[in-house]
Amino acid sequence: MSFAIDRRALALLLVTCAGCGKGQYPVRGKVTLDDGTPVKNAIVVFESVGAEKPVMARGDTQDDGSYQLSTTRPGDGLVPGKYRVLITPRMENPDEPVKPAFDTRYADFKTSGLEFEVKAESNDIPIRLAKAKK
């Protein structure tokens, strides 16, 4: 009998906790150059558009160009809405600046031209960048 009570309490706890989240949804994708080459060693940053208090999430690109956004916990994603995006090279050593393979305009929200909508579902957002100008 106590097992049934514990099971009901557990079920109630799970239902209650499911509604307690911030309504965040996973955001992941792949960053590539316009020729399909993966962009590795970069940081992807999403910032909410038109919010009173901007919300930001970031993720690092892997060797295959894949990224996953985090706000407060790894991979927790974002709340639905519109976001502007910047991509910047990850610097391992600040004394040795990295020249990215992609156009430097993507490193600033004002010039990147990248804007995406996060939906109330798991989001796969591929990002394609122009190559750096020579």
Express each pLDDT in 90-130 by its tens digit. Answer: 988 778 877 899 999 999 999 999 999 999 999 999 999 99
Q: Which residues contact 9 (CB under 8 A, 6 or more apart)?
A: none
d(CA 30, CA 133): 22
Q: Each residue of 7-26: pLDDT tens digit? A: 444 343 333 333 334 699 99
This prediction has a pTM of 0.81
Residue 110 three-state SS: helix
d(CA 40, CA 9): 46
Q: Each residue of 47-104: pLDDT tens digit? A: 999 888 999 999 999 999 999 999 999 999 999 999 999 999 998 877 887 789 999 9
CA 14 to chain centroid, in Å, comes to 27
Please report the domains of the chain, with CATH numbers, ordered by start residue.
Answer: 23-129 (2.60.40.10)
Q: Which of 93, 96, 35, 108 is nearest to 65 (CA)?
A: 35
Q: Each residue of 22-47: pLDDT tens digit? A: 699 999 999 999 999 999 999 999 99
d(CA 61, CA 87): 10
Report pLDDT for 98.
77
